């Protein structure tokens, strides 16, 4: 019956669209559009509202309703545009300001979102909704005191909304006021005893303070409220682990995996727990699954090597430690254990080299303890077998990977451009774009292998090490900035990132007006951040909650930013404003930092400077798909394929149909 009614409504809408304007019934289309939205049929609502707006392009309510429909379809860019049109047609439309602010907040554009909230509140200071939404935005923007003030104003008018107390509790938690955090979580639970999130938040705080019985009671209650909420099982598994109940912890990890069979973090924790109880073969199965989902996370290979060693598979253990070292050459712990295994394989020379390398790495890091930039390296011999909480982000963490909010789908950006070493016979054919300044720079360096590219170097590793040693010998007779630059390139390619950054800095001191030195230092800093994050457990929180406020970490851990790398690119662009590759690189780092609208602008600037910039079209297409603007994204990918990026057609196969109505 419901389908029949919808069919009649659709037919009626089509019939009306074919009638003359004089017979057009404006209110009827509004009614059909609202009805479709109430039934969550957002695409049909958009079609109906399109008909309305073709007849009356001044109907600001039509743009507003279509914006809401697009928002619910995750077309955030389209929603923002419709809300903006509604505001242009009716500058005192409070709801349009509020919803545009919420949309901009989801896009990471917090400054403009807060300005919209100010407009909405000035127009209607009596409405409670904008205060709550602005509080969430301020919470996401790390403005915790201001967020608390907004939640206070909302709660004074609406004191039956549990999420408001949860968000205010999170704000207090970030300010390290656990007493008030508890008070707010308690109130949230009293306000809605069927909401699992309140129990999970309070339970996580209990668990953090090692109050395990109270934490377990809260997680049990959360599961009673919603037996399909993954986070509750995951948290309860951690409590069971902390209280030496491994079999119960394993059972809860099994349930979590049943709810999400692609969650790397749960497989990783289950693998560690299985290792602890001696179930090595099944632990290997879990690590293999994690390696499939997160192939560039150094801890996967490091921990799996230990399991292979326990099973007597010494050669495979050495292979895994070697993989960990290739991913992160400064990982002293991997050298230590590989050295011990090499002794078992009757390789005393290799064992000695590993032992000496590990000792050297440890000494270097400890000597840098006074420098906060290197404090992360202070103890590279710590244990890495503790379970990770959901406040950790276990990512394969290529710095060129972005994932869709709330899903496991990932798309890769093409990497950063840098001056690297490529054999002349393998260099890609030059396009239509020529930068004389880049050509002059390469000529000044005088290295036929030097190329500006995002591709991996095809120079063998032993040749790179040989080049690095050659530069060391040449620098004994005195070094200029060109020699320092070339050594910085080789150090980066053999993954000696810390040394490479220092070498580029020395080159910059001698030639501070050269934009290309800043470009390469920026790229190396970004690569170093990725490898550091692969062994440090202080990541941003994995998001599984629908409420954006719940995506924040509830404790204060180290986070990583690309600010220094972006600052280098800003300097390069100041010195060379027409440097398209610097705009491209900055767009990549902004995308990875979550600022997709600004990344879009920088990709666009790169394309304006170089209309044949295939990689910029490709990456701009990727982020537009990520922001749910699939049609424009696919147009950019089509252009990238036309210009020679073969990867574009693989993405188009997956996404070309998603824009069809």
pLDDT tens-digit map of 554-607: 333 334 578 889 999 999 999 999 999 999 999 999 988 878 889 999 999 999
Residue 431 has what pLDDT?
55
552 within domain boundaries: yes
257 within domain boundaries: no
**In 418-552, beta strands by DSSP E:** 418-421, 450-453
Containing H/E element for 402?
Answer: strand 401-403
Q: Give 374-411 pLDDT, tens digit per residue.
A: 434 334 555 566 666 665 544 433 334 444 333 334 45
User: Is the domain of 515 the same as that of 638?
Assistant: yes
Percent of the chain surpassing pLDDT 90: 42
Point out the domain boundary residue: 341, 362, 377.
377
What is the widest separation between alpha-carbon atoms in the chain?
Answer: 93
Closest by CA position to 252, among listed 292, 284, 221, 220: 220
Closest by CA position to 293, among listed 262, 333, 271: 262
490 within domain boundaries: yes
Task: Take residue 155 and report the two structure tokens written for it.
Answer: 């709660």
214 within domain boundaries: no
Q: Give 196-221 pLDDT, tens digit per residue.
A: 999 999 999 999 999 999 999 999 99
Weakest-pLDDT range from 99-108, 129-138, 327-336, 359-368: 359-368
Q: CA-CA distance, 233 to 423, in Å (whole number)?
A: 53
Point out the domain boundary residue: 377, 392, 413.
377
Weakest-pLDDT range from 20-34, 38-52, 62-76, 437-451: 20-34
- At 452 the three-state DSSP class reads strand
223 within domain boundaries: no
Residue 655 has what pLDDT?
59
User: Is the domain of 631 the same as that of 567?
Assistant: yes
Return all residues near 518 (Cβ < 8 A) that are at least 6 apart: 508, 568, 569, 571, 572, 575
**In 189-283, beta strands by DSSP E:** none
Q: How crowded is residue 364: how many other Cβ atoms within 10 Å of its Cβ?
A: 16
CB 163 within 8 A of CB 150: no
User: Is the domain of 527 the same as that of 653?
Assistant: yes
Task: Take residue 566 and report the two structure tokens written for it.
Answer: 């972006």
User: Is the domain of 623 the same as that of 477?
Assistant: yes
- CATH at residue 346: 1.25.40.10
Point out the domain boundary residue: 377, 411, 442.
377
Q: CA-CA distance, 40 to 55, in Å (whole number)?
A: 24
Residue 282, pLDDT above cutoff 90 = yes
**Total count of domains within the chain:** 2
Q: CA-CA distance, 565 to 255, in Å (whole number)?
A: 41
User: Is the domain of 649 the same as that of 528?
Assistant: yes
Residue 531 has what pLDDT?
60
Q: CA-CA distance, 33 to 54, in Å (whole number)?
A: 14
Residue 418 phi/psi, 5-degree rounding, is -160, 165
Q: CA-CA distance, 275 to 300, in Å (whole number)?
A: 13
User: Is the domain of 366 the same as that of 416?
Assistant: no
User: Is the domain of 429 the same as that of 372?
Assistant: no
User: Is the domain of 446 the same as that of 486?
Assistant: yes
User: Stretch 465-491: mean pLDDT, rounded?
Assistant: 87
What's the residue count for the chain? 661
Q: What is the DSSP string of 512-534?
A: TT-HHHHHHHHHHHHHHHHHHHT
**Mean pLDDT across the chain, nearest whole number?**
81
307 within domain boundaries: yes
Q: Give 137-175 pLDDT, tens digit per residue.
A: 888 888 899 999 999 999 999 999 899 999 999 999 989
Residue 241, pLDDT above cutoff 50 = yes
Helix, strand, coil distribution of the chain in percent, nearest 5: 70, 0, 30
**b/e sequence 493-523, b meaning 16+ C-beta within 10 Å:** bbbbbbbbbebbebbbeeeeebbbbbbbbbb
17 within domain boundaries: no
CB 407 within 8 A of CB 263: no
Q: CA-CA distance, 656 to 220, in Å (whole number)?
A: 44
User: Is the domain of 593 the same as that of 478?
Assistant: yes
Q: Write out the residue range of the structural domain in which residue 323 sits.
A: 272-377
**In 530-640, beta strands by DSSP E:** none
Residue 234 has what pLDDT?
93
Weakest-pLDDT range from 326-330, 373-377, 458-462: 373-377
Taking the chain, what is the end-to-end CA distance rounded to the nearest angstrom? 24
User: Is the domain of 406 the same as that of 339?
Assistant: no
Task: Take residue 580 and report the two structure tokens written for it.
Answer: 């398209």
What is the bridge-based pairing of β-strands 410-412 and 401-403?
A: antiparallel
Residue in the block written with tokens 């009671």: 217
Q: CA-CA distance, 345 to 354, in Å (whole number)?
A: 14
Percent of the chain surpassing pLDDT 70: 81
User: Is the domain of 639 the same as that of 504?
Assistant: yes
CB 341 within 8 A of CB 314: yes
Q: CA-CA distance, 612 to 114, in Å (whole number)?
A: 37
Weakest-pLDDT range from 142-151, 247-256, 295-304, 594-603: 295-304
- Residue 295 or residue 410, greater confidence: 295
Residue 239, pLDDT above cutoff 50 = yes
Residue 3, pLDDT above cutoff 90 = no
Task: Take residue 109 and report the two structure tokens written for it.
Answer: 């554009």
Return all residues near 281 (Cβ < 8 A) that are at least 6 apart: 311
533 within domain boundaries: yes
Closest by CA position to 610, among listed 454, 432, 440: 432
Q: CA-CA distance, 52 to 614, in Å (whole number)?
A: 39
- At 450 the three-state DSSP class reads strand
Q: How far out from the chain centre does Cα 187 lie?
A: 33
User: Is the domain of 348 the same as that of 476?
Assistant: no
User: Stretch 327-348: mean pLDDT, rounded?
Assistant: 89
């Amino acid at each position: 019956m419901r389908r029949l009614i919808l069919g009649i409504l659709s037919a009626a809408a089509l019939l009306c669209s074919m009638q003359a304007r004089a017979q057009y019934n404006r209110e009827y289309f509004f009614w059909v559009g609202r009805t479709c939205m109430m039934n969550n049929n957002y695409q049909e609502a958009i079609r109906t509202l399109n008909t309305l707006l073709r007849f009356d392009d001044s109907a600001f309510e039509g743009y507003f309703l279509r914006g809401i429909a697009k928002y619910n379809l995750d077309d955030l860019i389209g929603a923002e545009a419709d809300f903006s049109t509604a505001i242009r047609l009716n500058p005192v439309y409070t709801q349009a300001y509020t919803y545009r602010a919420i949309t901009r907040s989801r896009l990471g554009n917090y400054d403009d979102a807060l300005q919209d909230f100010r407009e909405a509140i000035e127009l209607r200071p009596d409405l409670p909704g904008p205060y709550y939404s602005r509080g969430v935005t301020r919470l996401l923007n790390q403005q915790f005191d201001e967020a608390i003030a907004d939640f206070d104003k909302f709660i004074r008018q609406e004191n039956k909304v549990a999420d408001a107390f949860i968000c205010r509790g999170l704000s207090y938690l970030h300010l390290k006021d656990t007493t008030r955090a508890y008070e707010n979580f308690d109130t949230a639970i009293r306000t809605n005893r069927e909401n699992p999130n309140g129990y999970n938040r309070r339970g996580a705080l209990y668990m953090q303070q090692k109050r395990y019985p109270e934490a377990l009671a809260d997680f049990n209650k959360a599961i009673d409220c919603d037996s399909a909420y993954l986070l509750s099982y995951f948290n309860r598994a951690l409590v069971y682990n902390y209280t030496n109940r491994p079999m119960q912890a394993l059972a809860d990890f099994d349930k979590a995996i049943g709810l999400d069979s692609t969650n790397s973090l749960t497989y990783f924790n289950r693998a560690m727990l299985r290792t602890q109880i001696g179930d090595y073969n099944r632990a290997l199965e879990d690590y293999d699954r994690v390696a499939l989902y997160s192939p560039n996370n150094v801890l996967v290979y490091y921990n799996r090597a230990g399991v292979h060693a326990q099973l007597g598979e010494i050669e495979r253990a050495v292979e895994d430690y070697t993989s960990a070292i290739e991913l992160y050459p400064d990982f002293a712990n991997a050298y230590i254990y590989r050295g011990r295994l090499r002794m078992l394989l009757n390789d005393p020379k290799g064992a000695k080299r590993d032992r000496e390398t590990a000792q050297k790495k440890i000494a270097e890091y400890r000597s840098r303890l006074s420098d906060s930039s290197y404090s992360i390296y202070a103890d590279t011999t710590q244990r890495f077998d503790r379970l990770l909480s959901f406040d950790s982000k276990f990512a394969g963490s290529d710095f060129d990977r972005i994932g869709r909010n709330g899903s496991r789908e990932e798309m890769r950006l093409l990497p950063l451009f840098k001056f690297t070493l490529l054999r002349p016979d393998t260099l890609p054919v030059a396009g239509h774009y020529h930068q004389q300044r880049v050509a002059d720079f390469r000529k000044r360096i005088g290295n036929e292998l030097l190329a500006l590219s995002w591709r991996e170097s095809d120079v063998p590793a032993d040749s790179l090490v040989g080049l690095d040693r050659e530069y060391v010998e040449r620098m004994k007779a005195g070094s200029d900035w060109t020699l320092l630059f070339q050594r910085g390139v080789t150090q980066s390619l053999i993954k000696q990132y810390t040394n490479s950054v220092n070498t580029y800095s020395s080159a910059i001191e001698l030639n501070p007006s050269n934009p290309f030195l800043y470009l390469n230092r920026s790229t190396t800093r970004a690569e170093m951040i990725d490898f550091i994050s692969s062994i440090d457990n202080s990541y941003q929180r994995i998001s599984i909650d629908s409420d954006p406020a719940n995506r924040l970490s509830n404790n204060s851990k180290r986070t990583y930013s690309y600010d220094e790398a972006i600052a280098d690119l800003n300097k390069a662009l100041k010195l060379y404003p027409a440097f398209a590759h610097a705009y491209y690189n900055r767009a990549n780092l902004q995308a990875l930092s979550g600022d997709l609208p600004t990344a879009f602008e920088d990709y666009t600037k790169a394309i304006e400077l170089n209309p044949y910039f295939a990689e910029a079209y490709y990456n701009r297409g990727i982020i537009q798909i990520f922001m749910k603007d699939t049609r424009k994204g696919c147009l950019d990918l089509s252009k990238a394929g036309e210009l020679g990026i073969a990867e574009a057609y693989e993405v188009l196969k997956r996404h070309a149909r998603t824009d069809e109505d």
